[in-house]
Chains A and B, each alone.
Chain A
């Protein structure tokens, strides 16, 4: 079992729709969770971080965390073609462990 799993996609949504990206992780002691966006040919950019159960909203982005289910998701409301990118889920397993473990990413395509 991979430490951080994501569906590779592509996930295709029409412009204006809600895109839902999912991530599961295997280590129950994981402490903090991050979403990165990576455009083709560019480096990953941090867009959301979440540390406790529940929802965290930032503009059109909402991160959701459920530690009991070991599940973290990212919702993108009113999706725009400029949101088309690969979204990487990253998990911090706590002090002393490797800083971040990344999933392989989900490619999102927003159709105009």
Chain B
């Protein structure tokens, strides 16, 4: 059974640009959550989607947005990139929000 797939694995952008990250959950999983991980802040929650609906959102500015499609695949978008957005972005999927989450390998975003 394929795991959570995140693309791309690595991204280099410059300040002011925007970026879209993609996440394909494990087959049959309908819940997708996104996290930002930095050395200083640890794992910080971005959003949670279930059946195409955003259930919860973390304390991030409006530049961070996401969505989930009918096939449960999810995307997150960051606009007007800032240096501080450099991080590992992790997607995790689960059967439903109450089940254990399984993580993808992440997208490492570097802002120059």
Contacts and interface: CB of A to CB of B under 8 A. Distances in A.
A34 B98 CA distance: 11
A102 B42 contact: yes
Interface residues of B, number: 23
Interface size band for A: 20 to 34
B63 to A, nearest CB: 20
A92 B98 contact: yes
Nearest to B6: A43
A49 B94 CA distance: 13
A94 interface: yes
Given A99-B56, A102-B42, A43 B98 contact: no
Contacts of B90: 43-44
A43 B104 contact: yes
A97 interface: yes
Contact of B97 (A36, A43, A46, A95): A95
A80 B97 CA distance: 33
Interface string A14-55: 000000000000000001101010000011111001000000
Nearest to B32: A99
B103 interface: yes
A70 interface: no
A92 B99 CA distance: 9
Interface string A76-112: 0000000000001010101111111110110000000
Contacts of B55: 96, 98-99
Contacts of B101: 34, 46, 90, 99-100
Nearest to A88: B43
Given A98-B56, A104-B42, A46 B100 contact: yes
Interface of A: 31-32, 34, 36, 42-46, 49, 88, 90, 92, 94-102, 104-105
21 contacts: A31-B98, A32-B98, A32-B100, A36-B103, A43-B104, A44-B103, A49-B100, A90-B101, A92-B98, A95-B98, A96-B55, A98-B45, A98-B48, A98-B55, A98-B56, A99-B56, A100-B92, A100-B101, A101-B45, A102-B35, A105-B43
